């Protein structure tokens, strides 16, 4: 069994859409980034790549590569999943937390879990997403951006 950790932060921008866990969230601001700035999926991909010993998303999808400009992070997650299949890994479980003062996300969490489980081709029971605030402290508390952390455990299924 292998574990990996991921962490990511994106800053809010006025002209952006807010997409978290592949789900569009209705909010006055969105996150700024080279791709769709899906901070949750980025932290999940980094956790998966970490567990595989395969670096991070910056190495896999360089942000100076025009191929990834505005790309859906669901598409990137699919590529990371294919890499994990190639290497013979199976997802045991994935746990992640979105750290945001606003917006409220409780009613969107199940949709994110469903989307992520679908892309990763695992049972939704293996995927757990949470959201928390920072009690108004720090950059998250000042609503300057959103952070996300993820941890994943993989089992080596077949030896590739
Ligand atoms: Zn990111």
pTM: 0.96
What's residue 64's pLDDT?
Answer: 87
How far apart are the CA of 141 and the centre of ligand 1, in A? 19
Q: What is the pLDDT of residue 159?
A: 58
Cα dihedral across residues 37, 115, 3, 65: positive or negative: negative
| Span 73-132, pLDDT tens digits | 999 999 999 999 999 999 999 999 999 999 999 999 999 999 999 999 999 999 999 999
- Ion ligand 1: residues, CB < 5 A: 8, 42
Helix (H) or strand (E) holding 48: helix 39-52
- 114, 117, 118, 120: CA torsion to nearest 10: 160
> In angstroms, what is the span from residue 156 Cα to ligand 1's centroid?
27
Rounded to the nearest angstrom, the distance between the alpha carbon of 159 and the centre of ligand 1 is: 31
69 pLDDT tier (thresholds 50, 70, 90)? confident
| pLDDT range class, residue 154, cuts 50, 70, 90 | very high
Please give the pLDDT value at position 75: 96
Give the C-alpha separation, 71 to 22, whole Å: 12
Contacts of 71 (CB under 8 A, 6+ apart): 35, 36
SS3 70: coil
Task: Single out the residue of 108, 90, 104, 79 nearest to residue 21, CA to CA.
Answer: 108
**Residue, of 25 and 158, whose pLDDT is higher:** 25
């Amino acid at each position: 069994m292998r574990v990996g950790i991921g962490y990511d932060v994106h800053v809010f921008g006025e002209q952006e859409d807010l997409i978290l866990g592949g789900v569009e969230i209705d909010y006055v601001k969105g996150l700024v980034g080279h791709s769709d700035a899906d901070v949750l999926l980025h932290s999940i991909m980094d956790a998966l790549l970490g567990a595989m010993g395969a670096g991070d998303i910056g190495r896999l999808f360089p942000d100076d590569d025009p191929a990834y400009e505005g790309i859906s992070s669901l598409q990137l997650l699919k590529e990371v999943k294919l890499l994990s299949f190639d290497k013979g890994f199976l997802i045991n479980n994935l746990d992640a937390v979105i750290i945001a003062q606003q917006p409220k996300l409780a009613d969107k969490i199940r949709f994110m879990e469903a989307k992520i489980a679908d892309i990763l081709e695992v049972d939704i029971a293996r995927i757990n997403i949470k959201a928390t605030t920072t009690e108004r402290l720090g950059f998250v508390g000042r609503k300057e951006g959103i952070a996300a952390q993820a941890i994943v455990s993989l089992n080596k299924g077949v030896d590739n």
